[in-house]
Amino acid sequence: MKTEHLLVIRFSAMGDVAMTVPMIYALAKQYPHLRITVLSRPFAKPLFEHLPSNVGFMEADIRNEYHGVKGLNALYRRLTAKNFTAVADLHNVIRSNYLRMRFNVDKVKTAHIQKHRQEKRQLTANEHKVLKPLPTMFENYARVFAELGYPVTQEFTSLLTPEEANLRLLCDEIGEKKNFQQWIGIAPFAAHPTKTYPLEEMEIVISQLVLRHPSCRIFLFGGGDRERKLINDAITRHPQCINTSDLLHGLNEELILMSHLDVMVTMDSANMHLASLVNTPVVSIWGATSPLAGFMGWNQSLDNALHTDIYCRPCSIYGKKPCQRGDLACLTHITPHTIVEKVEQVLEQ
């Protein structure tokens, strides 16, 4: 009997790759005989190290080593040596389409994600919007697996086992969590301005949380040089805050810390998805984008997604478009008090 070996392709940004984890976990658990290899960019490797043993990871630097048609041909030659019996393209972009075409020529069964482009255009139209929920990315991924003969049910809870999430692994950097002490995570940044809540308003959120919970610890997430500087500036005014990037070493330690937070405040960003993968409740802030597009974090409550009902939103699926009004009202109309009250609701639960 021929060994079943599935290649799962998803490049893209951290948040998009993170969204594949729950469904790949379900696939691996429900088909233990199936070998699964995830092909993605190098940064994503830690996301798949905690999955069942029949899941492996293969990194591909598509911007350098495997750039262009020549690079993709070299990558394809490397892939064919693994004798895949099926290919799940969870990205459906030029690079993955090219690889999928090569596999099709070699009679390997393939399936690819549907992007629902027409529905997305209607959702973000300037006029006559159709505010109808699109299928979630998790549903889209499940449909690809089903098309290949592997229907899955959703059963994922957390990326980390209790042993893997042991806070003692971070005690030297973070310290212990005291009884009844609130640990709150805040990831105030996103890839685009139309998804980023004003930092000065977020500092008001921090001030109000500290006023209500004097013994709390607030962990700020943001890894870029500019982000670190802004975080460190805020910390000088709020000593209860901690810059996680200065203390932790890599994504795995960030996931461990996130798993011990009582609540995480994020934008529509990768950190929303990372916190979701360790079963931490998230208060998410949505500006130009919308959960209706299918990018809500795994198992997160829509009740905790904050947004305004301003006429022009959502105006973008990914947040890349500039603000039509020029004032980012979709974000600035969300008050710090609204965010704090939602955080309080989660803490009470």
The 10s digit of each residue's pLDDT in 47-95 is: 999 999 999 999 999 888 999 999 999 999 999 999 999 999 999 999 9
- 306-332 mean pLDDT: 95
- The mean pLDDT value for 177-206 works out to 94
CA-angle at 93, arms to 152 and 5, nearest 5°: 40
Q: What is the mean pLDDT of residues 299-320?
A: 96
pLDDT in tens, 321-333: 999 999 999 999 9
- 139 pLDDT higher than 90: yes
- Cα separation, 153 vs 160, in Å, equals 20
Position 1 scores a pLDDT of 53
Lowest mean pLDDT among 47-56, 170-179, 288-297, 303-312: 170-179
> In this prediction, what percent of the chain has a pLDDT beyond 70?
99
135 CB neighbour count, 10 Å cutoff: 15
* pTM of the complete model: 0.95
Looking at every residue in the chain, the average pLDDT score rounds to: 94
Say whether pLDDT at 25 is over 90. yes
Q: What is the pLDDT of residue 175?
A: 77
Q: What is the pLDDT of residue 34?
A: 97
Q: What is the mean pLDDT of residues 268-285?
A: 98
Contact of 51 with 164, CB cutoff 8 Å: no
pLDDT of residue 343: 98
Angstrom distance (rounded) from CA 346 to CA 349: 5
Which class for 45: exposed (0-12), middle (13-18), buried (19 or more C-beta within 10 A)?
middle
Residue ranges per structural domain of the chain: 5-147, 169-348
Task: Answer with the residue of higher pLDDT: 276 or 247.
Answer: 276
Confidence check: pLDDT of 335 > 80: yes
* Choice between 340 and 227, residue whose per-residue pLDDT is larger: 340
Average of per-residue pLDDT across 131-150: 97
How far apart CA 48 and CA 41 sit, in angstroms, is 12
Superfamily of domain 169-348: Glycogen Phosphorylase B; (3.40.50.2000)
pLDDT for the residue numbered 73: 96
- The predicted pLDDT at position 274 comes to 98
Q: How confident is the model at residue 348 (pLDDT cuts 50, 70, 90)?
A: very high
- The model's pLDDT over 5-15, given as tens digits with 9 standing for 90+, comes to 999 999 989 99
**Residue 174 scores a pLDDT above 90:** no
Helix (H) or strand (E) holding 183: strand 183-187
Q: Which CATH superfamily is domain 5-147 in?
A: Glycogen Phosphorylase B; (3.40.50.2000)
Top-confidence residue, 3 or 72: 72
Angle between helices 199-212 and 225-237 (to 10 degrees): 40
Residue range 235-247, pLDDT digits in tens: 999 999 999 988 8
Q: Are 5-147 and 169-348 equal in CATH topology?
A: yes
Three-class SS of residue 141?
Answer: helix
